[in-house]
Amino acid sequence: MQYSVLFNPIAGRGRAGAVAESVQRLLEEQGHRVTLRASERAGHIAELAEFADADRVLVLGGDGSLREAAGGLLRRADDPPELGILPFGTGNVVARELGLPLDPIAAAVEMEASDATPFDVGFAQCDDAEPEAFLAMLGIGYDAAVAGRIGRSRATALGGAVYKRSAGLLYGAAGLRELMAFKPPRFDVQTGGQPVMESVAAAVLSNTETYGKGMAMSPGASATDGLFHLHLRVSAAPWTGALALVAAQFRRSAPGWAVSQEVGDGFEFVAADGAAPFLWQLDGDPLGSARRIAATMRPGALRLIGAPSPGIP
């Protein structure tokens, strides 16, 4: 079998190259052919995936790199190669959803002996831009603000140092600070041209059950059912957000009076009349602000190596 391993050479404080070479040796010992491809610039992983001459494409990185590779594979004219993740990020949401070890070498060992299964892919079109693929979630409001705050913190000397030592600590601090200071957007939600809810403050559209480190914002969501699970909060009160996060930590749904849960294969999010644009993120990557986002589902668009969670009944 022909493998192509894609990686960012500066990831992991420069350790990505050595880890990729270890994966290469491991797979070659099992009789496979392996090529390593290092990205050279932003967006390059998508290009490398699009033109990879391989049966399987493995991405050494986090959910953002995996999302980028997925977008590249879906631009191919032929059937795309199978896709795998060698976890090297912070949240590793898709790896957790697939039941893979969070050590990239251990994940390579398990994937070498595993089949690939169909995996649903979401697409988000922001205003008039081209749709972007995502594998785990689309977030609007609070979690997008947290992702943006973390990005800004990592750009500072202190925040960068904290992130290298304990990314979880930085995420926790950013989440708490944003919870207390968050100024919510106001947007309306529709599906099929019909209103779902108006004046919403925060939304998480899940393709996977896993959200963050072992959390489940929408228990029961699955990347194999062809449906999104939508978590909506109207109240922007800090205690409501905290309740939702605690429930997610225990992989339980928050009470219905605090959170609304919807299911469907497509949703549209539109800034309310007179409201400012809202912040949004895909698979943990902040993508700025928007006035309208249309999310659609493409069931089984890719084959990912591992076993996606069937969801909690």
Per-residue pLDDT of the chain (313 residues; tens, 9 = 90+): 999 999 999 887 789 999 999 999 999 999 999 999 999 998 999 999 999 999 999 999 999 999 999 999 999 999 999 999 999 988 899 999 999 999 999 999 999 999 999 999 999 999 999 999 999 999 998 888 887 776 665 556 565 554 555 555 555 565 666 666 667 789 999 999 999 999 999 999 999 999 987 789 999 999 999 999 999 999 888 888 888 888 988 999 899 999 999 999 999 999 999 899 999 999 999 999 999 999 999 999 999 999 776 653 3
Give the pLDDT confidence score for residue 312 in this predicted structure: 39
In this prediction the pTM is 0.91
Contact between 45 and 58 under an 8 Å Cβ cutoff? The reply is no
- For residue 290, the surrounding DSSP H or E stretch is strand 285-290
Q: Which helix (H) or strand (E) holds 59?
A: strand 56-61
CB-facing half-sphere around the CA of 101: CA atoms within 13 A: 11
Q: In 3D, which of 107, 71, 119 has the Cα closest to residue 285?
A: 71
Tokens coding 81: 């190669």
Collect all residues with Cβ–Cβ distance below 8 Å to 101 and sequence separation of at least 6.
87, 107, 110
CB neighbour list of residue 12: distance below 8 Å, 6 or more residues apart: 19, 88
Burial 231-252 (b: 16+ CB within 10 A, else e): bbbbbbeeebbebbbebbeebe
Q: Which pLDDT value is given to residue 12?
A: 76
| CA gap 56, 4 in Å, rounded | 6
Q: What pairs with residue 294 in β-bridges?
A: 125, 268
| Per-residue confidence (pLDDT) for residue 94, from 0 to 100 | 96
Phi, psi of 306 (to 5 degrees): 135, -170
What is the second-level CATH architecture of the domain 123-300?
Sandwich (2.60)
In terms of Cβ atoms closer than 10 Å to its own Cβ (0-12, 13-18, 19+), residue 162 is: middle
Backbone φ/ψ region at 162: left (φ over 0), alpha (ψ -120 to 50), beta: alpha
146: number of Cβ within 10 Å: 24
In the chain, which ranges are continuous DSSP H helix? 11-14, 16-29, 44-50, 63-73, 93-97, 104-112, 142-154, 157-165, 167-181, 238-249
Angle between helix 142-154 and helix 167-181 axes, rounded to 10 deg: 130
Question: Would you kindly state where each structural domain of the chain is located, as residue ranges?
Answer: 2-114, 123-300
Looking at residue 86, the DSSP 8-state letter turns out to be E
Residues 268, 269, 272, 277: is their CA dihedral positive or negative?
negative
How many of the other CB atoms lie within 10 Å of CB of 192? 10
Q: What is the pLDDT of residue 173?
A: 60
pLDDT of 181 reads 65
CA distances from 54 to 1, 50, 80, 302 (A): 8, 11, 9, 15
CATH of domain 2-114: 3.40.50.10330
CB 221 within 8 A of CB 148: no
Residue 156: both structure tokens together: 């500072």
